[in-house]
Structure 1
């Protein structure tokens, strides 16, 4: 096994350079998921549109990417893995230029869709190619490098986006992709040619593609617009939910009976793949929910600036960077299910620590769970990815990586959306309960005696109650997320013990 070398001329420094190029390309795409989040106020101000319209800059990218990620396996079979990777890089870079040059919201949203369509395959393709170019005993370390970029990207996105928008202009959040995209495309053409896969004249599954676009589009719109439209009290949201459910069922039935499906759902026949991806979906749903909630809560309640909220989020980067290569080595020697379960339980403990936060918490109290979370993420992310890809045949790896990344992305979106809704709804309940038991007149009289007017005193009390209600609510959400991580840590034991050290059967 140790003598096995997939591609003879990809060894030593050339192999490491190829791995770096693949990881860098993945990092660029993952970074773009979150880099625009904090820049929306700058973009809406510049293009003279409302903030709710501005969120389409984020969602249009997410929808296009979510649609394209599961198509990766089919596209790789049609055009070849390396060729598709290079085409995706060129397309992504071109649309990044056009995003930066956009002069209207319509143009920017259209170009973000283009960015998402070309960016979608880069993530699973970089994963697949890393698996192809490394010998089996080194694949776990390669996955560690890949996982590091996937975890650190969303953390650095808001910091970079905020700094660039504040100090230069929002256009540069897209222009910074240009040198990275060009370097990665040229390096991929030069280095990865030996790793090209065979091409097949696959027919286009037009109905499957149409159903995929329909249900993902409806689901994403439902998640984006649900909160502001009071969810299922809105006829439009109910209509989107019906389309999502019917579209998904029709899509699954069609893809299972189609001879050349656009998405290879049959991969779920592997128990190891299905269980590890389900566990990963739970974990990423909880992980992304906290990434969305914490910056909002510290800005609204504790008066943090966007930059400082970004710094707080980034404190988890140190642990992730430190542990990724270590976990990659451990995955070769120990049962990946045990490593994943440990990582997920640690995530549960970290989340439980947050469930006791108070309104006057200092920076270190908030940062400590973030730092510990940084150490926990590689422990579940790397082994779960390894179990999933190690459960399928080599020929199905591109399809499996595409499906895994798609479900992880969707789980993140769903988790964040549900968490924000629970946070808002429970804050209203907590506020009502506090007001009903509060002796407002006594507190108001005390404040008036200290020199405040009646109106000012009432305003101060109302503000305090609002802040406490939001803190109680965010603690409530973290209790729920703790349970999600515990469930994910137990789920993974339903997967069979991997037979090979990392990425299974070489067929």
Structure 2
């Protein structure tokens, strides 16, 4: 429901206050979305500066997403306990402080702790920015408010990689976090001045403490297990076994407790509805693949194609161009369409894009790199809103906030898990291809001996240098083949999960407004 239509609610903002307030609230959303993607291209540089592997550097992304996912279900309770304006301001200021701590971090453990805090306090920013925007706009323009919000959220993935790459190359990786400080302070100050008289009432409410503790326990242990698995040689390590057992036991306990709790922190009974079940699983699996590949692609471009961070950012930036251009058009046409058709088109589009990438070679040119990323903006525009409309359709109004929160939690956490799984899978496939290619590097293989001889002539060097050059080329080829496997399986999964969309009941775009309000 539009807050501005509630009895006793303040009137919508007008004139300069309206423009400034909308900009400030949207800026806070942009800051949050930007921070989820800006670190992607900085991971190789960040890892090198901190003296850790790129796999360990990826924890900067996965732990942020996991912490963000856990905090999302708490937003409703915190809003009622504190008030939406105060909570929004507090979340922005804590985001600013944790961002500064990230930039100042002297080592990886300190950086990860700061990123966990940053992800946790970012949880309320998205839903509260939507609520404040809706209260700013007149009732008849609520769809425009949501379209503006969606566009702000979409611009983040465009600006994030390019901005992160430029900052990393010209300054240092720390500045990708410092940039949040002035932006956040401005957004918090303007929002407080314009919205402090529009506060929602606060009241003391009980919280499902057991559910919250068990939620944090299984999410944290599962994410640590996935991130540390490769370093500790998976189940050959007692630590991994302990983490797995704790995650499994706490997850089962969480399920049992939440299903029997009168006021659960996460209403798992929502999964009994086929629209919620099919839509949530589809959007979460799809987002996991989408987000994981968004993390892996810049790492390969920088690590093995020799691109600078800023160039890798510009390669991945075109993702949002079509998404932004199509957003207002889709807003007009969605009410006429079956949401299942749009979501299916999105998944088929993603499958086509990832299949194109599965054909990459080690000498791929910039055009071939950019084209799939540009085209990916089309299914991206068709992805979130139609599926969220499916998820929320048919639910009574009082269930929509809980449903939106739960589906967002599952989706965001799936992004973190997917990144960990795909990072490990890429490493495993690279090792496999390296072993297969290395089988041919025998002195009994005339082709190999001849190839080394040609290299000695071409390099005007001895056998050791020629062999080292060949090994470097073999490593690059194995890495490329491993990544091609990831792209190919990504395409297959997008096709395989299409039936999940069609187990849902048909629905037109009437729910799209509610979807935009709760689903991004």
Q: TM-score scaled to structure 1, two decimals?
A: 0.87
1:264 & 1:255 partners in 2: Cα distance?
A: 7
Partner SS for 1:304: coil
Deviations 1:193-220 (Å, cap 9, x if unpaired)?
A: 6875554432122211211111111012
| Counterpart contact for 1:389–1:400, Cα < 8 Å | yes
2:196 & 2:340 partners in 1: Cα distance?
A: 35
| Counterpart contact for 2:44–2:303, Cα < 8 Å | no
Question: Could you tell me which of 451, 455, 459 is aligned with 1:443?
Answer: 451
Question: Could you tell me which of 31, 38, 42 is aligned with 1:28?
Answer: 31
Matched with 2:480 is 471
1:313-462 matches, cutoff 5 A: 313-437=316-440, 439-450=447-458, 451-462=460-471
Of 130-139 and 238-247, the range deviating more from structure 2: 130-139
Question: Could you tell me which of 76, 79, 102 is aligned with 1:76?
Answer: 79
Partner SS for 1:285: helix
Deviations 1:147-186 (Å, cap 9, x if unpaired)?
A: 3333442443343233324433444333322332233334
Change (3 A) 1:492 1:401: same
Change (3 A) 1:101 1:305: closer
2:122 & 2:134 partners in 1: Cα distance?
A: 20
| Counterpart contact for 2:71–2:124, Cα < 8 Å | yes
The CA deviation at 1:253 is 1.4
2:501 & 2:426 partners in 1: Cα distance?
A: 28
Question: Could you tell me which of 143, 148, 151 is aligned with 1:145?
Answer: 148
1:233 aligns with 2:236: yes
The CA deviation at 1:415 is 1.7
1:287 aligns with 2:287: no
Question: Could you tell me which of 243, 256, 259 is aligned with 1:256?
Answer: 259
Of 128-137 and 60-69, the range deviating more from structure 2: 128-137
| Counterpart contact for 2:22–2:133, Cα < 8 Å | yes
The CA deviation at 1:358 is 1.4
The CA deviation at 1:372 is 0.1
Name structure 2 gaps, 5 residues minimum: 442-446
1:156 & 1:43 partners in 2: Cα distance?
A: 19
The CA deviation at 1:283 is 1.2
Name structure 1 gaps, 5 residues minimum: none
1:468 & 1:207 partners in 2: Cα distance?
A: 50
Deviations 1:412-457 (Å, cap 9, x if unpaired)?
A: 1222222222222122222232333463112223333554311122
Matched with 1:201 is 204
Matched with 1:162 is 165
The CA deviation at 1:377 is 0.2
1:494 aligns with 2:496: no
| Counterpart contact for 1:337–1:492, Cα < 8 Å | yes
Change (3 A) 1:464 1:154: same
Change (3 A) 1:266 1:82: farther
Question: Could you tell me which of 485, 489, 512 is aligned with 1:480?
Answer: 489
The CA deviation at 1:86 is 2.6
Partner SS for 1:502: helix
2:321 & 2:479 partners in 1: Cα distance?
A: 29
Change (3 A) 1:269 1:185: farther
1:173 aligns with 2:211: no
The CA deviation at 1:57 is 4.9
Matched with 1:266 is 269
Deviations 1:336-379 (Å, cap 9, x if unpaired)?
A: 22112111211111111111111111100111100000122011
1:10 aligns with 2:12: yes
CA RMSD across the alignment: 3.3
1:376 & 1:33 partners in 2: Cα distance?
A: 20
The CA deviation at 1:287 is 0.7
1:335 & 1:131 partners in 2: Cα distance?
A: 26
Matched with 1:67 is 70
Matched with 2:444 is none
2:232 & 2:440 partners in 1: Cα distance?
A: 31
Matched with 1:210 is 213
The CA deviation at 1:71 is 1.5
Question: Could you tell me which of 98, 113, 121 is aligned with 1:118?
Answer: 121
Change (3 A) 1:43 1:356: closer
| Counterpart contact for 1:275–1:491, Cα < 8 Å | yes
Change (3 A) 1:156 1:504: closer
